[in-house]
Amino acid sequence: MELSKTAALISETEMYSARNYNPLPVVISQGEGSWVWDADGQKYLDMLSAYSALNHGHRHPKIVAALKEQADALTLTSRAFHNDKIGPFLRKLCQMAGYAKALPMNTGAEGVETAIKAARKWGLLHKRVPENQGEIIVCANNFHGRTTTIISFSSEEQYRYGFGPYTPGFRIIPFGDGKALEEAITENTVGFLVEPIQGEGGVIVPPEGYLREVRAITREHNVLLILDEIQTGLGRTGKLFAYEYEDARPDILILGKALGGGVYPVSAVLADDAVMGVFTPGDHGSTFGGNPLGAAVAARALEVIEEEGLVEQAFALGQYFTKRLAELNSPAVKEIRGKGLLIGVEIKEEYGVARVYCEKLMELGILCKETRKQVIRFAPPLVIARDEIDWAIERIAQVLT
């Protein structure tokens, strides 16, 4: 019997790919806006958005045009030379986010590593913490990436097992607990690294007032507040940055994912001069960080967020989608939580695991992915239309009720 294109492509991938992923059995070969098509022509609504990297939707025409135009002019210089796109990109980024300086990298994990290095060196130079003694406090159930340093402070056994020895200098406290932060701070604490909403951890929203509280505590103790907004930033939660809900402007802001407009990996760390000033030539870098192709794409991606009102759209449609989900009154659902278009639906254990629901949704034409065992994450592109959400709700209703 002849294999479908999908089956043949999955079989080829499984033959040659390391087994570090367990994707749903769909092979995507085309995308436009909120929609994708598989290798056999089947159409799906993308409700994962590459973990929020596709906030602008697939192949946003303005961003693809910027990519093509730049590809015809210049793609890579390395930072050994200046290029004519990095300045305009960083200016736009700093002005939009309200920081003095930005340091461009490529992936989220590199952004987090950059923030860790900045905080440690700031501790040494400005807080007079003895060399190699700086401590960073992080939260249980965090997700900040997969490098050896970052997994050193993960509380997920699978992310760590077998990959030691681990990087020292991190202390884990419960998420959402301001008192625990206050108690964990010592004279050697240089930073507190936290996600405003834990995305991979199951779309966990901290208690109201938490970010405001940790902002006050870190300020009082001269500890840098480092917010990882790689997943929550750039409109996803219905604000440009999730910290705006509580006026908790961090000392270091880490961005990634959607900064690349869904077409190119771009991340960045933002801070004011006192913190960013710790870096001197040769301290840190990346061959591809700030390259003209990525810079042109990211600058356009930022403009599109403003031009198309994506933040306001995420706020309004997030409320609408959450309300429609709640109205399903599904007996299988334990909790619906999130902000804007970052929505977690937790399935009661007696109703099975989230993966099974994601597989059923896939059969009905909706792509989403479980996070942790019991949570379905719905995070569609911010360009999704209300009637596309209605279309999705009809199918989600079939699976959940």
Active site residues: 143, 228, 257
Residue 131 C-beta: closest distance to ligand PLP, Å: 27
DSSP state for residue 205 in the 8-state scheme: P
Residue 229 C-beta: closest distance to ligand PLP, Å: 8
Instruction: Report the residue from 233, 250, 256, 381 that binds ligand PLP according to the rule CB under 6 A.
Output: 256
List the structure tokens of 334.
């334990």
Of residues 51 and 122, the one with the C-beta less far from ligand PLP: 51
Alpha-helical (H) ranges within 340-400 are 354-363, 386-400
Of residues 333 and 354, the one with the C-beta less far from ligand PLP: 354
Nearest Cα residue to 272 out of 85, 56, 126, 107:
126
Asked if 145 touches ligand PLP (CB under 6 A), the answer is yes
Owner of token pair 């995308």: 31
Asked if 289 touches ligand PLP (CB under 6 A), the answer is no
288 to 10, 90, 341, 369, 395: CA distances (angstroms): 30, 15, 31, 30, 42
What amino acid occupies position 272?
Answer: D
Asked if 108 touches ligand PLP (CB under 6 A), the answer is yes
Asked if 206 touches ligand PLP (CB under 6 A), the answer is no
Instruction: Report the residue from 51, 99, 122, 288 that binds ligand PLP according to the rule CB under 6 A.
Output: 51
Residue 257 C-beta: closest distance to ligand PLP, Å: 6
Asked if 354 touches ligand PLP (CB under 6 A), the answer is no
What amino acid occupies position 50?
Answer: A
Of residues 38 and 370, the one with the C-beta less far from ligand PLP: 370
> Residue 179 burial (CB < 10 Å; 0-12/13-18/19+)?
exposed
Asked if 109 touches ligand PLP (CB under 6 A), the answer is yes
Select the span of 62-70, 119-127, 228-236, 358-366 touching ligand PLP (CB under 6 A).
Answer: 228-236
Residue 107 C-beta: closest distance to ligand PLP, Å: 4
Select the span of 31-39, 58-66, 225-233, 235-243 touching ligand PLP (CB under 6 A).
Answer: 225-233
| Interface positions, 68-97, toward ligand PLP (CB under 6 A) | none
> Residue 127 burial (CB < 10 Å; 0-12/13-18/19+)?
middle
Rounded CA gap, 200 and 299, in Å?
A: 27
Asked if 200 touches ligand PLP (CB under 6 A), the answer is yes
Nearest residue (beta carbon) to ligand PLP: 108
At residue 158, what are phi and psi to the nearest 5 degrees?
Answer: -65, -35
Instruction: Report the residue from 144, 236, 369, 377 that binds ligand PLP according to the rule CB under 6 A.
Output: 144
Instruction: Report the residue from 49, 55, 83, 107 that binds ligand PLP according to the rule CB under 6 A.
Output: 107
Asked if 228 touches ligand PLP (CB under 6 A), the answer is yes
Asked if 104 touches ligand PLP (CB under 6 A), the answer is no
Cis peptide before 380 (omega within 30 of 0): no
β-bridge partners, 270? 102, 253
Give, for 315, the enclosing helix (H) or strand (E): helix 310-327
Residue 142 C-beta: closest distance to ligand PLP, Å: 8
Nearest Cα residue to 337 out of 328, 326, 327, 350:
326
Rounded CA gap, 274 and 222, in Å?
A: 13
Rounded CA gap, 396 and 401, in Å?
A: 8
Residue 241 C-beta: closest distance to ligand PLP, Å: 13
Instruction: Report the residue from 231, 291, 330, 374 that binds ligand PLP according to the rule CB under 6 A.
Output: 231
User: Over the Cα atoms of the chain, what is R_g?
Assistant: 21
Instruction: Report the residue from 45, 173, 230, 367 that binds ligand PLP according to the rule CB under 6 A.
Output: 230
What amino acid occupies position 101?
Answer: K
The contact set with ligand PLP (CB under 6 A) reads 51, 107-109, 112, 143-145, 195, 199-200, 228, 230-231, 256
